[in-house]
Amino acid sequence: MLTFEGQKIQGSQNIVNKLTSLPFDQCKHTITTVDCQPSGPSGGMLVFVSGNLQLAGEQHALKFSQMFHLMPTPQGSFYVYNDIFRLNYA
């Protein structure tokens, strides 16, 4: 599940559709903080990130925060189970 600016989107295809329909082609991320915590007995990981987004052609960067929950696979990799994204307007 993805929560993007308060909109809840569930299912991988719906999430891909949302992300590919955003009204820009290029976006530079600058990460300022990353906090991680182990999550549950299955080896998951909670990750909280904050930083800036710079859209192509825009003069000012936008501040953002994002939390995602990584879950392990039997093959030893991870997948995103939950993702919450917010622009931080000030």
Banded pLDDT at 8 (limits 50, 70, 90): very high
User: What pTM did the predictor assign?
Assistant: 0.78
CATH topology of domain 2-87: Nuclear Transport Factor 2; Chain: A, (3.10.450)
Looking at per-residue pLDDT, the higher value among 67 and 56 belongs to: 67
Banded pLDDT at 41 (limits 50, 70, 90): confident
List the domain boundaries for the chain: 2-87
Angle at 45 between CA 40 and CA 49, to 5 degrees: 140
Distance CA 61, CA 56 (A): 10
Looking at per-residue pLDDT, the higher value among 76 and 90 belongs to: 76
What pLDDT is recorded for position 90? Answer: 67
Residue pair 77/64 in contact (Cβ under 8 Å)? The answer is no
